[in-house]
Amino acid sequence: MKNLIILTGLSGAGKSTALGLLEDMGFYCIDNLPINLVETILPVISMNVDNIAFVLDARSENFERIDEILNNLKKKYASNLKVIFLTAKDAIIINRFAHTRRNHPLLKRVNSLEKAIQLEREILTKALEFSDIVIDTSNLNPHQLREKLVEILGSVKKKFLVRILSFGFKYGLPLDVDFIFDVRFFPNPFYIKDLREKSGRDEKVKEFLYNTQGVKEYIEMIKNVVDFALKRYENEGRMELSIGIGCTGGQHRSVFFAEELASIYRQRYEVLLEHRDVK
């Protein structure tokens, strides 16, 4: 195991947003893990998973053991462990619960939201003392919270994945891509006898398309759009971008463009290249 994140803090302070980001960053995430199971489950999971994140908060029974649990984890995992505590002002939490259908998890134990928040603060006192990072989300929207966490956890991010898919429009649009670029307006090698049975990976097809007016410019245009999106995806904590390149049959032009883009982005990212409709 390389990284262990314990996420705790007040209900309504943004733990769900933070956990979603950690999942996007490649962490194996467990929400509301019973505190008595932490030391039993962790060794089993860590045998097969590098990055693990748990949410431990006042919803768990026996939460009074949090200091004991965190103390044991810090001794055992030392530099691999970070405890992140999310908090916010009472008025902000009250307002957030007013805009959601969810009730405060401790509301059944007291007769008002204000008292539930105060009770939770008392229960979480020990967790706060053991925290490595405390984030007040009172003035942060979900986007800003994600940005802050990305900045804090940047050193444990998994490598960004760029997925590139070539396809033929005649066989249907792919449903699992973020961007689709059409290359059907370039000459089709299918209509050249010597190229018809080849694919966009063949040197003769590459030479034909390299020498086609506008191809190099269009590759640069696609790159500019993708680079623009990549920067913002990374700022959001998202770790994957998928691109579809389509021509008529998915055999020549789309394959060529997909191969060219893959070559460009392999220099900086992990790239997964797939040619869906190559025969």
Which residues sit in the known binding site for ATP?
9-16
* Residue of 222, 208, 220, 233 lying closest to 166 (CA atoms): 222
CB 127 within 8 A of CB 56: yes
CA–CA separation, 231 vs 123, rounded Å?
A: 40
Query: What residues form the annotated binding site?
Result: 9-16, 57-60
Read off the amino acid at residue 121.
R
CB 271 within 8 A of CB 216: no
Read off the amino acid at residue 170.
K
Query: What residues form the annotated binding site for GTP?
Result: 57-60
Q: What angle do CA 230, 83, 32 make, to 5 degrees?
A: 90
CA–CA separation, 39 vs 71, rounded Å?
A: 11
CA–CA separation, 239 vs 235, rounded Å?
A: 10
DSSP 105: T
Q: What angle do CA 72, 76, 82 make, to 5 degrees?
A: 80
* Residue of 171, 162, 136 lying closest to 238 (CA atoms): 162
* 3-class secondary-structure state, position 223: helix
* Residue of 218, 157, 155 lying closest to 184 (CA atoms): 218
DSSP 14: S
